[in-house]
Every structure is written in structure tokens, then in C-alpha cells.
Amino acid sequence: MRVTFLGTGTSTGVPVIGCRCRVCTSKDPRNQRLRPSILLEWNDRGILVDSSSDFRQQALRHRIDRLDAVLYTHGHADHVMGLDDLRIYNFRQKADLPVYGSAGTLEDLRRTFWYAFTETQEGGGKPRLDLRAVADPFDLFGVRVDPVPLWHGDLEVFGYRIGSFAYCTDCNRIPPASMEALDSLDVLVLDALRPTPHPTHFSLPQTLALLAQLRPKVAYLIHMSHDIEHVETEATLPPGIHLAYDGLVLEIQA
């Protein structure tokens, strides 16, 4: 399986509009973070996790010419606002696009993108999505996908485990059953918003403490704000823990 990090920034993106801080003005491309999303590829299929506010730019940058499914973690704007651009794949592939998420997340999508799920006049090219609510492990193109419930403040969101890989964005608490579900991973991708505490995201020290418990072989941190400077922060991390960056690609044995 191949994992491509399309965006590793928090909801504002980095640089933040109007900000002149040293990270927002940094020339290092690893300090420039689009909104959070990854592309997974296996068995010649492309699976998007979240359609971020920057999806169009991400799809052009990474030449995502084909998509076979979308997994949603939750319905917050930074993770869903690219949904309308998914219609290009309906046009190209002449088929509806299967979309997976919790019943609550799919309900949020129906409300936010009401026009895509109601009868409207002819001529408006709308996304055609086949919403599939999941709660238990399911098969996707010959591979088992496990939804992993996480807490993002008071909101339940999904992480996803696929074999020895798991993607857990937007969370600040992991219930005991999900801690077990995240055991024995080769690669764990995890929220680490900033050095200081936040009500709905893990801070960097909290993320490191959690990783010391979960002990994946390698961890990559995401959903980072402009309070995290790449090179400086990377140098402080324990072995096997890295900051992800936009454009990073991982090849993972299933």
C-alpha cells in the first residue's frame, strides 16, 4: 500500500492568512501545510481520506486522475470542503463514487452539501456520491478497513486502520477499545496540533506520551499549526517519530 500525505496542516493551513511569523514566512516547503488529507493506493485503486478545503490543489499537484472511494473521518470544514470537486471523478469515470463514514458524519455531509443530495434543476453538475455508513470493519477492494472511534473534544470521529497502518487525525482522547485496535502497528499517523494544550486536539507532548504507550514501529505527526517549525521540532523527537509534511510518500507492507 502507498500513502501520500496531501495535506498535513491544521484547519487554517500554514501559512495562515495575514500571518508574518517565522513559520508562515519560512522558505522550507515542509513548513507549508495544506489542509489534512491522505491518498491511499492499493490493488490499483485510489482511496482518498477526507476531501479537504485544498482538495483541488492537492489533486492537481499529485495528479490524482482517478478515485475509487472516499473515507471520511468527520464532518468539520477542513476535512470536507473539497467534496464538490469529487464530481470531476463522476464525469471522468461515469459512475457514482462510494463514500464511507460514520452515520453521524454522513448526516453532516448531507446537511452541509444539501444540494448534492436533493433533486434540483437539470444542468448543474453535482457530485454523485453513494453514501455508505460503517461502524464495523469492512472490505474495500480486497483489503480490510477498520473504523477506529476517537474523541475530538465531545465529537466522535473515526480513525482508520488498514493492516499495519493507521490514520488518526483530529483527536484528543482515545477510548480503551480503540487503544487495543491501534496495537502492534508498523506505521501510525497521529494528530499533534501544537506544543501547547488545546480542547479538541492532542498537543505535541500529549501525542508523544501516547506514542510511548502505543509503541508503533514508526509514527508520523499531522494536523500541525504554525507553532511547529519543521526542522527545529523534528530534531527534538524520539527515534521512530517524525513530523509528516505535504508530499511525503510511504510504501507500507500490508
Check binding of 33 to Zn ion (CB under 5 A): no
Chain-centre distance for alpha carbon 55:
11
DSSP 30: G
Binding mask 157-176 for Zn ion (x = CB under 5 A): -------------x------
Nearer of residues 33 and 226 to Zn ion, judged by Cβ: 226
Nearer of residues 1 and 193 to Zn ion, judged by Cβ: 193
Q: Which stretch binds Zn ion (CB under 5 A): 26-34, 64-72, 77-85, 191-199?
A: 77-85
Size of the site for Zn ion (CB under 5 A): 8
Rounded to the nearest 10°, the torsion over CA 37, 101, 68, 184 is 70
Cβ within 8 Å of residue 141, ≥6 positions away: 42, 43, 45, 47, 68, 69
Q: Which of 78, 146, 191, 229 binds Zn ion (CB under 5 A)?
A: 78
Cβ within 8 Å of residue 60, ≥6 positions away: none
Binding mask 200-239 for Zn ion (x = CB under 5 A): --------------------------x-------------
Say how many CA atoms lie within 13 Å of 250 toward its Cβ: 24
Chain-centre distance for alpha carbon 49:
5
Q: Which residue has the cell 491501534?
A: 182
Identify whether the C-beta of residue 198 lies closer than 8 Å to the C-beta of residue 226: no
Q: Which of 1, 51, 69, 76 binds Zn ion (CB under 5 A)?
A: 76
Identify whether the C-beta of residue 83 lies closer than 8 Å to the C-beta of residue 127: yes
Binding mask 106-145 for Zn ion (x = CB under 5 A): ----------------------------------------
Q: Which of 24, 88, 143, 214 binds Zn ion (CB under 5 A)?
A: 24
Write out the residues near Zn ion by the rule CB under 5 A. Answer: 16, 19, 21, 24, 76, 78, 170, 226
